[in-house]
Amino acid sequence: MDLSLTEDQELIAATARELLESKAATAGARALDGDPAGYSAPLWKEMVELGWTGLAFPEEHGGVGGDFLDVCLLFEQLGYAQVPSPLLASVACCGMPVARFGTSAQKERWLNAISDGQIVTAAPLPWDRPGEGPVASRSDSGYVLDGTATFVPFAASAEHILLVARLDGEPHAFWVDAADVTLKPLGTVGHDRPCHAELDGLWVPGDAALGPDAAAAISLFGAAATCAEMVGAAQRVLDMTVQYATEREQFGRAVGSFQAVQHHCANMAIDVLGSRFTAYEAIWLLSVNREAAQQVSMAKAWVSEAYERVCALGHQVHGAIGFTQEHDLHLFSEHALSASLAFGDADLHLDTLADTLDLP
């Protein structure tokens, strides 16, 4: 397995970083604080024109012909710049499950729509409350959905939601029109403007349903994509901290010259590099359509905790300035809290690994 990037992938990452850095002042998390949508519509339009929304999809469905690893390079740069966007929810959580497990008709409809810039989002079953979540029943060549999907990202901006509900006790995925559900906005520390989506006897046609494999793929691709986003954000915290340590002087010398500070920065660098390797191993396996459930759980468990450690050490080095509203470091700490909980926290994924490996 070679995790080095090709020339095309390096160009994708470099172009994305340049664009997002130039837009962060107007489209970043700080600029969008309090904005109901939670993302920049002009930047989204530019992403669509650049082909980002179709990067991972085949050309026959309006895409560019890349793969999941290619688009994860974009998620990494979105994390680095702290630019909130529905790109991850639309492409990774909705598009990839359809691309892998959808019917020909479903691929034709949904992959083309996502590539064209339609905002969609996904709602997996709640990982922290087993047995809860929406339920489905068969009715009149379709299905009836009841219950509440929780913490649905960018739900207020989405046209459709790929929602997981239990049918005969087994998770299945269903496309629903966002206008047909009742949304309850939530106040959270994250930047993805989540809502609870309430369904009360909502009928959907039979072709709106995807099977259990697609339902599982929502969380699988979502967790891996979130790892890429966290890797980018952790790298930015490390870069900010090293820059601060070289510029901030105390006792007539840069604080970065003190061994204790150097140790902090070294530990941060170890966590960032380890996170990158484990995240992209899982992403690569998903890209080539190999079994990746264990690797995704390992990556999500490790990267979630490593990103939080990086932020904690970043605050140690920055001192008081890192806790102020004017400094950007707190934006990454908030992001670390929310991203570490998305698609299951470290404890859940470690428990999943232990069960898979028959460990006590």
CATH number of the domain that residue 243 is part of: 1.20.140.10
pLDDT band at 50 (very low <50, low <70, confident <90, very high): very high
Contacts of residue 292, Cβ cutoff 8 Å, sequence gap at least 6 = 220, 224, 282, 285, 286
Model confidence over 345-355: pLDDT tens digits? 999 999 999 99
Boundary of a domain, candidates 211, 233, 254: 211
| Rounded CA separation 66/86 (Å) | 19
CA distances, 169 to each of 146, 173, 298, 303 (Å): 14, 13, 27, 32
Domain stop point among 53, 87, 120: 120
Chain centre distance of CA 283 = 12
- 240 and 151 within one domain: no
Domain stop point among 91, 120, 149: 120
Q: What is the DSSP string of 176-190?
A: EEGGGSEEEE---SS
Answer whether residue 1 is part of any domain.
no
258-273 pLDDT, tens digit each: 999 999 999 999 999 9
In this structure, the answer to whether residues 233 and 296 fall within a common structural domain is: yes
Q: Which helix (H) or strand (E) element contains residue 245?
A: helix 212-247
Q: What is the phi/psi pair of residue 147, to 5°?
A: 120, -165
- Domain annotation covers residue 74: yes
* The model's pTM: 0.95
Q: pLDDT digits over 219-268, tens only?
A: 999 999 999 999 999 999 999 999 999 999 888 888 888 999 999 999 99
Query: Could you tell me if 100 and 138 lie in one domain?
Result: no
105 lies in the same domain as 57: yes
Query: Is residue 233 in some structural domain?
Result: yes
- Residue 195: give the domain boundaries: 121-211
Residue 2 lies in a domain: no
* pLDDT tens sequence across 192-229: 999 999 999 999 999 999 999 999 999 999 999 999 99
Structure tokens at 219: 């969380």
Residues 250 and 333 in one domain: yes
**65 in any annotated domain:** yes
Domain count, the chain: 3
Q: Please report, for the domain that includes residue 177, its CATH number.
A: 2.40.110.10
237 with 205, same domain?
no
Same structural domain for residues 102 and 125? no
Amino acid of residue 337: L
Same domain, 229 and 349: yes
pLDDT tens digits along 113-149: 999 999 999 999 999 998 899 999 999 889 999 999 9
158 within 8 A of 110, measured Cβ to Cβ: no
Q: With respect to residue 35, please indicate whether it lies within any of the assigned structural domains.
A: yes
* Domain co-membership, 116 together with 130: no
